[in-house]
Each structure stands twice: as structure tokens, then as C-alpha cells.
Amino acid sequence: MRSIKAIQKVIDSFESLPGIGPKTAARLAYYLLHVPQEKLEKFAESLARLKKDTKVCRICFNMGEGELCPICEDNDRDKEIVCVVEQPLDLLAFERADGFSGVYHVLGGAINPLDNIGPDDLQINELLNRLKSGEIKELILATNPTMEGEATAMYISYKIKEMKKRGRVEDNLKVTRIGRGLPTGADVEYADGQTLLRALENRREV
């Protein structure tokens, strides 16, 4: 059967998304054929605006609508405790767990030599610069408990020790690593709220 162009285009778009195979892509495209035109146009518009209407926060690199994300803007958040995560989705997982009142720093990934991702490809220097103001009292390293996440946490804590030696950051800045609540190899993004909160509670100094 010759494919129908308009449908095939939508199938191809869905198939290019992570975790969606050809069957699901086709099912979604045919499902959309039954959705009222007005609803479809709203959907298309929200996709078109997705990147236009979002900005990366200049402090923590989370997503927001203005210069600052809603968390950095919020005066009720404790700016002295910073939770360092790999991706904005990890931040969302902590927010959903609803037990952390500090702020965040999104690295944009983890150090991964096999993929050619080094410290300079991540927002690590920006994090270290944030520490110089002296406002931050504790840094919680909440990168994934994978090889890459552990290496990234180790690298950051090493860098901070170096900075302490040179007097570039306060000596009493506490650096902690989330605890063993998370199984090795598990992603922060997929952990349930209870597990995440336990991992936060069980953090240890590094």
C-alpha cells in the first residue's frame, strides 16, 4: 500500500522521539485523526511555542519563562542548600517528591569519556562560580548512581577541595552525596518520591 503523505509525516515525527517505535508511532498518528481539528491545532501550537516560550535559568540552568526559573525566583526556597542534578527531569523528580526546600543546579549531563563529554561540556564551572559568593552552605551531589554520575560527583568534590585550599570558597562549605536509598545504576528521574527523599536524608559528607 502506498503511504498517505500527511499521515506518514506524523508517524515519522513520532518515531523520531525516544522510546517510541514504529507501531506506537502509527497508533498515535491514527488516533490523532479522530481528534477534533481545533484540539489538534492547539496541540500543534503548543509544540511550536515549546522552545520559543522557555528560557534556561541563568543561575541554575533549569527551565523557566524569564531570566530566572520559578525555583530561583521563589523567596521561600532556602538558597543556602543547592542540590546538583544531571538533568531538568531529575529536578522535577525531586520536586515531585516534595521534601526538598533548597534550590538546584542542573549540570546538563554527566562526565562520560566514551561519549566525549568532559567537565567543560557541563555547567560545572558555573556551579563552582556560584560557590564563590559564600551564600551557599551545603552542596548536595545528586547525580545518578551510575559510573558517569559517580565520576561527576567525585570530580566536583575534588574541585571544591582544591578551591578550599586556595581560599576561593568558604572552608565550612559542606559537600554531600545522596545516600544509598537509590540502587546502583538507577536513574534519579525514575526513582519514586519516597526513595528520593530517603536518599536525600541519608546523604553523607564527601
Interface residues toward Zn ion, by CB under 5 A: 57, 59-60, 62, 69, 72
The CB-of-70 to Zn ion minimum distance in angstroms stands at: 8
User: Amino acid identity of 111?
Assistant: I
The CB-of-77 to Zn ion minimum distance in angstroms stands at: 10
Phi (first) and psi of residue 204, to 5 degrees: -130, 155
The CB-of-37 to Zn ion minimum distance in angstroms stands at: 38
Q: Under a CB-based contact definition with an 8 Å cutoff, are residues 103 and 82 in contact?
A: yes
> In angstroms, rounded to a whole number, what is the distance separating the alpha carbons of residues 90 and 71?
14
Q: Given the complex with Zn ion, which of 55 and 164 has the nearer CB atom?
A: 55
Q: Given the complex with Zn ion, which of 14 and 104 has the nearer CB atom?
A: 104
Question: Grid coordinates standing for 191?
Answer: 526513582
The CB-of-90 to Zn ion minimum distance in angstroms stands at: 14
Q: Given the complex with Zn ion, which of 72 and 117 has the nearer CB atom?
A: 72
> In angstroms, rounded to a whole number, what is the distance separating the alpha carbons of residues 146 and 148?
5
Q: Given the complex with Zn ion, which of 11 and 122 has the nearer CB atom?
A: 122
User: Amino acid identity of 56?
Assistant: V
Q: Under a CB-based contact definition with an 8 Å cutoff, are residues 127 and 105 in contact?
A: yes
Going 196 to 199 to 203 to 206, the CA torsion angle's sign is: negative
The CB-of-107 to Zn ion minimum distance in angstroms stands at: 13
Closest listed residue to residue 130, CA positions, set 103, 110, 96: 103
Q: Given the complex with Zn ion, which of 91 and 191 has the nearer CB atom?
A: 91
